[in-house]
Amino acid sequence: MIPLPENFETYSEARKKGFLKIMDMKRQVGKKVVGVFCSYTPVELISAANAIYVSLCGSGEEGISSAEKHLPGNLCPLIKSSYGLALSDACPYFYFSDMILAETTCDGKKKMYELMGRLKPTHVMQLPHNADSEAAEDLWLSEIYRAKEALEHTLHTAITEEALRTAIHQKNLERAAMVRLYEIGKLKPCPISGYELSTIIESTAFMFSGNQKLAAMESRAEELINEYEQSYKGKPSRPRILITGCPFDGVRDKVIKKIEALGAQVVAFENCSGPRTQQSLVDETINPYRALARRYLGINCSVMTPNTGRFEALETMIRDYQIDGVIEIILHCCHTYAIESQLVKEFVTEQRRLPFLSLTTDYSTSDSGQIATRIGAFLEMIDTIPR
Contacts with ligand BJ8 by CB under 6 A lie at: 38-40, 76, 78-79, 105-106, 108-109, 246-247, 272, 299, 301, 303, 331, 334, 336-337
Q: Which DSSP string do the residues of 3-56 spell out, in sequence order?
A: PPPTT---HHHHHHHHHHHHHHHHHHH--EEEEE--TTS-HHHHHHTTEEEEE-
CB of 37 vs ligand BJ8, minimal distance in Å: 7
CB of 219 to ligand BJ8, least distance (A): 28
| Amino acid identity at 42 | P
Q: Which is nearer to ligand BJ8, 150 or 246 (CB)?
A: 246
Cβ–Cβ < 8 Å for 361, 332: yes
Nearer to ligand BJ8, 1 or 303 (CB): 303
Closer residue to ligand BJ8, CB minimum distance, 336 or 341: 336
Return the DSSP state at 75.
S
Euclidean distance between CA atoms 354 and 315, whole angstroms? 11
- Taking the complex as a whole, the smallest distance from the CB of residue 127 to ligand BJ8 amounts, in Å, to 9
Beta-bridge partners for 119: none
Nearer to ligand BJ8, 52 or 297 (CB): 297
Reported in sequence order, the residue ranges of the chain that DSSP labels E, i.e. its strands, are 32-36, 51-55, 99-103, 122-125, 240-245, 265-271, 325-331, 356-361
Of 113 and 337, the one with the shorter C-beta distance to ligand BJ8 is 337
Q: H or E stretch including 195?
A: helix 194-203
CB of 364 to ligand BJ8, least distance (A): 15
Cβ 156 to ligand BJ8, closest distance in Å?
28
DSSP state of 250: G
Contacts for 274 with CB less than 8 Å, ≥ 6 apart: 182, 243, 268
| Residue 80 vs 240, nearer CB to ligand BJ8 | 80
Q: Closest distance between ligand BJ8 and the C-beta of residue 256, in Å?
A: 16
CA dist 98 and 380 (Å) reads 50
Closer by beta carbon to ligand BJ8, 47 or else 81: 81
325, 349 contact by CB (below 8 A): no
Burial (CB < 10 A; 0-12, 13-18, 19+), residue 296, is: buried
Smallest separation, CB 112 to ligand BJ8 (Å)? 9
Pick 199 or 360: Cβ nearer ligand BJ8: 360
Q: Is 326 helix (H, G, I), strand (E, B) or coil?
A: strand
Closest approach of Cβ 250 to ligand BJ8, in Å? 10
